[in-house]
Structure 1
Amino acid sequence: MTGQWLKRWREGRIGFHRATPHPALVRYWATLGVPRAAKVLVPLCGKSVDMRWLADAGHPVLGVEFAPDAIEQFVAGRDQGVLRYGQAGFDIVRQGSIELWQGDFFHLHIRQVAEIAAFYDRASLIALPRPTRQRYAFHLAQLVPPGACGLLISMTRKDPDAGPPYSVSHAEIEQLFSPNFRLTFLEQSPPDARGFIESAWALKRRGPIN
């Protein structure tokens, strides 16, 4: 799976990338009530400009991405210095208030994300095949503390077996996340030219008794 994505980045086959912040992020982030200085985790972040939007809104950002090409393209998009260092299996590039951790998201340990207070997933869940999505939802729940809020943007498509990006039904989202998160459905977009339909969800990490 990782080899497939690395090849896509090398060949520039990244039709999933947006040149502007996602409208659902702009529309709904403030409704989550995330404190301005809260650090935001962005799994499988690619070179998403949504991270710039979050940083400009006052949030330190920690993005995790397996493809080095994605990280290098992201930092090249702004004329700003970078710091490079390593930590426990990750090569880290820092630019302003954005840290990009190059490595396997599933190797990220809770000790490394102790400051995380919110999260954003626009294209992580739908990048993963079905067997891996359960693992992703569980690992995300392990990394974020009780009360942490996040925005999930998912997608369905005409052929549920095609991908990536993969089609993830509303029922599957409920099944994956409801054990550890309170979910609120926010909106569903009309189909685009490819027949892709996006949906936006607000998530809040459950505590021990809720």
Structure 2
Amino acid sequence: MDASFWHAKWEKNEIGFHQDQVNPFLIRYFGELSLSHGSRVFVPLCGKTRDIAWLLSQGYRVAGAELSRVAIEQLFAEFGVEPRISEAGSLTHFAAQDIDIHVGDIFELAAKDLGQVDAVYDRAALVALPEDMRRRYANHLAEITNRAPQLLITYEYDQAMQDGPPFSVSGEEVRRHYEARFDVALVDSADVPGGLRGKCPAKEHAWVLKKT
């Protein structure tokens, strides 16, 4: 799966993965990370998720990374905000009060460019990547965020019944990628209403990862 897959999805508005509501697990469990007002939260592969607006409404600052410029242009348009846009190497930086997004390949994003991160909210990044990329992603994320605590959302279902993304990520795989750096706790699970894309039963899991 390469960048052209995601660019095509956004350009054709084929964004069934975009949720119109704030993720319930975010509302219920983000407090587990014990952040202070004004803390900076990194949202990898953020798209134009409504979860960003919720984080801002709770008094957090938000940083993001997203491959599609179309998604981020739509995000700021929906906020009714004109971003400041600058180039930073191979990435494009969109910034406004309390929010800045790096557009391009997340693997090109360095810690010095991302800046301080107090926590990570990963609802759509790990599950968007095929299996052979997920370990690389987990390693890179820990490096650029200095192992900031995370609220991680995953899906689990019979991968043989449907192609990803979102991909099925087992609890064993989550622990394999993260346990060396974090205390990993599964805090909740829920059935996906109607199944994933209405095709197969699936569960959504919420994980809290804290630095060991």
TM-score, scaled relative to structure 1: 0.92
Q: Secondary structure at the match of 1:187?
A: strand
Identity of matched residues, %: 33
The equivalent residue for 1:153 is 153
Matches within 5 A, 1:128-139: 128-139=129-140
Structure 2 Cα separation of the partners of residues 97 and 196 of structure 1: 35
Bigger CA drift: 93-102 or 163-172? Answer: 93-102
Matches within 5 A, 1:24-173: 24-146=25-147, 148-160=148-160, 162-173=163-174
Q: Secondary structure at the match of 2:79?
A: coil
Q: Deviation string for 1:85-139 (max 9, x for gaps)?
A: 1223211112331111101111111112331111110010010000000001101
Give the drift of 1:145: 2.4
Give the drift of 1:158: 2.6
Give the drift of 1:31: 2.0
Q: Secondary structure at the match of 1:142?
A: helix
The equivalent residue for 1:19 is 20
User: Letter of the aligned partner of 1:157 in structure 2?
Assistant: Y
Give the drift of 1:199: 0.2
Matching residue within 177, 199, 202 for 1:196? 202
Give the drift of 1:191: 3.5
Whether the aligned pair in 2 keeps the contact of 1:141 and 1:205 (CA below 8 Å) is no
Give the drift of 1:149: 1.5
Q: Gaps spanning 5+ residues in structure 2: where?
A: 196-200
Give the drift of 1:58: 1.3
Give the drift of 1:79: 1.8
User: Letter of the aligned partner of 2:158 in structure 1?
Assistant: K
Whether the aligned pair in 1 keeps the contact of 2:33 and 2:119 (CA below 8 Å) is no
User: Letter of the aligned partner of 2:167 in structure 1?
Assistant: Y
Q: Gaps spanning 5+ residues in structure 1: where?
A: none
Q: Deviation string for 1:12-59 (max 9, x for gaps)?
A: 111111112110000011121012211111111111111111111111
Structure 2 Cα separation of the partners of residues 174 and 114 of structure 1: 27
TM-score, scaled relative to structure 2: 0.91
How many aligned positions are there? Answer: 205
Whether the aligned pair in 2 keeps the contact of 1:127 and 1:166 (CA below 8 Å) is yes
Whether the aligned pair in 2 keeps the contact of 1:128 and 1:166 (CA below 8 Å) is yes
Q: Deviation string for 1:134-180 (max 9, x for gaps)?
A: 0011011111225x321000001232562111110111001111111
Give the drift of 1:77: 0.6
Structure 2 Cα separation of the partners of residues 46 and 191 of structure 1: 21
Considering only aligned residues, what root-mean-square deviation do their CA atoms show, in Å? 1.4
Whether the aligned pair in 2 keeps the contact of 1:34 and 1:149 (CA below 8 Å) is no
User: Letter of the aligned partner of 1:202 in structure 2?
Assistant: V
Whether the aligned pair in 2 keeps the contact of 1:44 and 1:124 (CA below 8 Å) is yes
Whether the aligned pair in 2 keeps the contact of 1:64 and 1:101 (CA below 8 Å) is yes
Whether the aligned pair in 2 keeps the contact of 1:144 and 1:205 (CA below 8 Å) is no
